């Protein structure tokens, strides 16, 4: 009898543990699993361009952070939605709360480390600002690279839409084909566009949301052409063919301009890196030679002046080599 009770108790414990593990797995899979993350990303992307548009109530509002208290605080910060939009445009799976947390952590790390080592409040504050700006530079770089990929994919997407319309498909079906056939990032954005239209958002608002998530000049031509055609009528397939031809010619011209300006861009990189590289080499060869720059008050002023002049020079060289087509 005792053995039977002990066996039944063991079986009950086994069943309880198994059910507990299964429940934990199902909870994780529905909230943190790959499918849940994919759906969450698509919902967040679908509502990325809809800040302040209360008429799009069927869309889930993109949260600035996972904490409601932190979200209420972040919403009070100036230009916080611009940062949120830049994160969406960069394609990074990063919320505004996480971005602000990383930026604050880098600022505190740089400020405290320099203050404890050099005991210079102003220099520590400047180093903290430089480190805090690194996440922003990373986001802007990812944004520029992603938008450049979109511009390269756009002519093929327009041709696919044109062929779909000539085959007799409606515009939403053409958008769905682009989302299914094209690779990311443009394919994913067209999936979001089709989802918005399929869920009941007007084509006008959905196209403007797409333009908010992908603010490129070529895509703006496509959006404006589609919206005008829906108001005035006409052959949309022929219009798309003309836009595709213009975009391809523009990309060819941009490639020629980048080739001709390659020497200037390389010179700008060398001139920007050379002072820092020379300083590191001098410090390694003679560690005490540059010590006067951060121990003497006049040397600190020289460092501040040199950094300001270098920042102005880098900005000026960037303006010279950046050619809009």
| pLDDT tens digits, 183-202 | 989 999 999 999 989 888 88
Q: Exposure string (b/e) for 223-242, b if CB count within 10 Å is 16 or more?
A: bebbeeeeeeeeebeebbbe
- pLDDT (0 to 100) of residue 242: 93
pLDDT-wise least confident of 59-73, 96-110, 184-198, 288-302: 59-73
pLDDT beyond 50 at 47: no
Which alpha helices (DSSP H) does 233-296 contain, by range? 236-260, 262-285, 292-295
Tokens of 236: 């949309």
pLDDT tens digits, one per residue of 24-43: 666 666 666 666 566 555 55
Tokens of 317: 């060289």
Q: Is the pLDDT of residue 58 over 50?
A: no
Mean pLDDT of the chain: 81
| Backbone φ and ψ of 32, nearest 5° | -125, 0
* Percentage, residues of the chain above pLDDT 70: 76
Higher-confidence residue: 322 or 147? Answer: 147
Predicted pLDDT at 179? 92
Confidence of residue 61 (pLDDT cuts 50, 70, 90): low
Given a cut of 80, whether residue 6 has pLDDT beyond it is: no
Q: Assess contact for 231 and 224: CB atoms under 8 A.
A: no
285 is written with which tokens? 């060869």
Closest CA to 159 of 167, 146, 311, 290: 167
Q: Which residue has 């916080």 as its token pair?
A: 80
Report pLDDT digits (tens) over 135-148. Answer: 999 999 999 999 99
More reliable by pLDDT, 155 or 10: 155
Q: Left if phi > 0, otherwise alpha if psi is -120 to 50, otherwise beta: which for 77?
A: beta
pLDDT of the residue at 142: 94
pLDDT at 259 over 80: yes
Q: Is the pLDDT of residue 307 over 70?
A: yes
Task: Please tell me the least confidently modeled range out of 51-65, 143-157, 221-235, 309-323.
Answer: 51-65
Whether 105 has a pLDDT exceeding 90, the answer reads: yes
| Across 36-45, 68-77, 220-229, 235-244, least confident range | 36-45
Confidence of residue 51 (pLDDT cuts 50, 70, 90): very low
What's the whole-number mean pLDDT along residues 311-321? 83
- The pLDDT of residue 27: 64
Please state, in angstroms and rounded to a whole number, the distance separating the CA atoms of residues 102 and 29. 27
The structure tokens listed for 164 are 């779909």
**Is the model more confident about 81 or about 48?**
81
How much is the average pLDDT of 306-324? 82
Q: Rounded to 10 degrees, what is the CA torsion of 253, 256, 257, 259?
A: 160
* Per-residue pLDDT at 45 exceeds 60: no
For 77, which DSSP code? Answer: S
> Is residue 184 left, alpha or beta, with left meaning phi > 0 and alpha meaning psi from -120 to 50?
beta
Where is average pLDDT lowest: 32-41, 48-57, 103-112?
Answer: 48-57
User: Model's pTM, two decimal places?
Assistant: 0.69
């Amino acid at each position: 009898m005792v053995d039977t009770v002990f066996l039944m108790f063991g079986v009950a414990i086994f069943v309880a543990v198994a059910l507990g593990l299964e429940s934990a797995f199902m909870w994780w899979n529905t909230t943190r699993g790959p499918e849940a993350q994919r759906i969450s990303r698509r919902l967040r992307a679908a509502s990325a361009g809809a800040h302040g548009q209360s008429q799009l109530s069927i869309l889930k509002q993109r949260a600035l952070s996972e904490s409601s208290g932190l979200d209420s605080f972040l919403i009070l910060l100036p230009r916080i939605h611009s940062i949120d939009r830049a994160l969406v445009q960069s394609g990074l799976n990063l919320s505004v709360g996480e971005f602000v947390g990383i930026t604050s952590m880098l600022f505190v790390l740089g400020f405290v480390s320099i203050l404890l080592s050099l005991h210079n409040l102003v220099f520590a504050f400047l180093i903290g600002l430089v480190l805090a700006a690194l996440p922003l530079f990373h986001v802007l770089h990812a944004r520029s690279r992603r938008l450049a990929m979109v511009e390269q994919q756009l002519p093929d997407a327009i041709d696919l839409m044109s062929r779909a319309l000539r085959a007799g498909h409606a515009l939403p079906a053409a958008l769905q084909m682009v989302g299914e056939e094209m690779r990311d990032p443009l394919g994913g954005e067209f999936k979001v566009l089709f989802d918005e239209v399929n869920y009941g958002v007007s084509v006008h608002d959905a196209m403007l949301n797409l333009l908010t998530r992908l603010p490129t000049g070529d895509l703006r031509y496509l959006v404006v052409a589609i919206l005008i055609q829906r108001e005035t009528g006409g052959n949309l397939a022929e219009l798309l063919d003309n836009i595709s031809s213009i975009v391809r010619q523009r990309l060819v011209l941009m490639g020629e301009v980048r080739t001709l300006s390659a020497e200037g861009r390389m010179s700008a990189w060398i001139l920007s890196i050379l002072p820092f590289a020379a300083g590191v080499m001098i410090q390694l060869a003679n560690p005490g030679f540059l010590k006067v720059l951060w121990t003497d008050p006049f040397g600190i002023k020289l460092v501040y002046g040199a950094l300001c002049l270098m920042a102005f020079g880098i900005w000026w060289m960037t303006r010279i080599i950046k050619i809009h087509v």
